[in-house]
Structure 1
Amino acid sequence: MYRIIITLISIFLLFNSAWGLAAEVDSSNPYSMVEQVARNTFSRLTSEREQIKQDPLLINKVVEQELIPYLDYRFAALKILGKYYRQYPLEKINQYTEVFKTYSASVFANALHYYQDQAVEFEPAREFNNQKQTTVRLNINQGSNSINLAFVVRKDTKTEQWRVYDVVAEGISMLSSLQSQFEPILRKEGIEAVMKTMRNTKD
């Protein structure tokens, strides 16, 4: 699962620095959204490279400001909770969701330290009108090897904005991996144990 996260973060960074300053993200288009988030993240890491060398924790700030707003962490968190959702009051669900948000940011920030320059090729955009979910596909070239990656994105029916909620690398779903990891804990120990595990996860 961690390999998938590393790959996800790498994709957000695989763009030419000639793009210059970060652009405002258009979340009404899932394809341009993914590319613009990549552009903005790359610009931040480039402009703040020396500061990050001095203080590696600054990566957390980049993640929180440039990546997390375009990840549907609440939807992903509830998918992981699954049928156990009904066992807990809304206040507890909201608490769990915030813990999952912090957990996600921490994993992404750690993954940034493993970033290596790679080449990426996006597949052509497809028609997405009248759809609530679509997939943005791409290939990562690593020398003689190629990794197939897919961002699964969904549209919020209230805001009409698209956000990523899952990433699939070589057929392995990050969301499914997290579901498999946390379901036994939910079943045996409950949501508090899941939150404790997330809080204690460092890598």
Structure 2
Amino acid sequence: MKKIIALLSAFIVLMFSFTAQANFDMSNPYQLANDVAVNTVKEIKANKDKISDNAVAEKIIQDNLFPYIDIKYAAYKVMGTSLKTLSKEDREKFTNAFEKYMKQSFVSVLSKYTNQEIVPSEVKNVPESESLVSVKMIIRESGKKDLELVLKMRKNSKTGEWKAFDLIGENISMLDAKVSEISPIIKNQGVDAAIAKLNSTDNK
């Protein structure tokens, strides 16, 4: 399970850690995913000697990754049925802790990046009424079996922009894995216990 989640985390990093100068159209989730993937592989390979530096990896993630991931939506999904009973302060506190956990996880994975390649998805037109889309892409690495990943994206109803919130690989959802682990803790022990669990998780 840890290896699958680490691989999914790596894919998110590969998909969304690009330079701030990149200006991608966020109105089509398929085109966005492809543009980001191609640019990201180029950028990471160009800076491969620096990626092992946590400060470099964290800056890439903070500046370029997180604006393209819907952390709040993902965190709210992890809170599950407890969301309605939690105060605004507790929701915000958990969301901040969840963001920190994800950032640390991505830093760990990014520092171990090898030479995977992305096979882009077919670009499709998305009906205006659609707000959730699954983008299928391939992770390819020499000497290993191709891995199909499904990147789940959600459109913001106000801005019309798409962001990623989950990945599924080998029928394992990265988000569902955290829901199963953390949601019961929030329900039975409270937000502080869930945050303590996130803080104690070994991301290496």
Mark the CA change 1:11 to 1:199 in structure 2 (over 3 Å): closer, same or farther. closer
Mark the CA change 1:121 to 1:38 in structure 2 (over 3 Å): closer, same or farther. closer
| Superimposed CA distance per residue, residues 47-89 of structure 1 (whole angstroms, 9 cap, x where no aligned partner) | 5444445x33321111111211111110011011111012211
1:38 aligned residue:
37
State whether residues 8 and 174 of structure 2, in contact with CA within 8 Å, keep that contact through their aligned partners in structure 1: no
State how far apart, in whole Å, the 1-side matches of 2:185 and 2:12 are.
Answer: 31
The one-letter code sitting in structure 1 at the alignment partner of 2:64 is E
Aligned pairs, number: 197
**Correspondence 1:30-109 to 2 at 5 A:** 30-53=29-52, 55-109=53-107
1:138 aligned residue:
137
Out of 121-130 and 97-106, give the one that drifted further.
121-130
Mark the CA change 1:9 to 1:86 in structure 2 (over 3 Å): closer, same or farther. same
Out of 73-82 and 56-65, give the one that drifted further.
56-65
State how far apart, in whole Å, the 2-side matches of 1:138 and 1:46 are.
Answer: 20
1:13 aligned residue:
14
1:17 aligned residue:
none
Q: 1:191 Cα shift? A: 0.9
The share of aligned pairs that are identical, in percent, is 27
**Correspondence 1:109-148 to 2 at 5 A:** 109-130=107-128, 131-142=130-141, 143-148=143-148
1:24 aligned residue:
23
State whether residues 151 and 167 of structure 1, in contact with CA within 8 Å, keep that contact through their aligned partners in structure 2: yes
Secondary structure of 2:146's counterpart equals strand
Structure 2, unpaired ranges of 5+ = none
State whether residues 8 and 167 of structure 2, in contact with CA within 8 Å, keep that contact through their aligned partners in structure 1: no
The one-letter code sitting in structure 1 at the alignment partner of 2:5 is I
Q: 1:199 Cα shift? A: 2.4
State how far apart, in whole Å, the 1-side matches of 2:20 and 2:46 are.
Answer: 9
Q: 1:180 Cα shift? A: 0.7
- RMSD over aligned CA atoms reads 2.4
TM superposition score normalised by structure 2: 0.84
1:161 aligned residue:
161
Structure 1, unpaired ranges of 5+ = 15-19
Mark the CA change 1:192 to 1:115 in structure 2 (over 3 Å): closer, same or farther. same
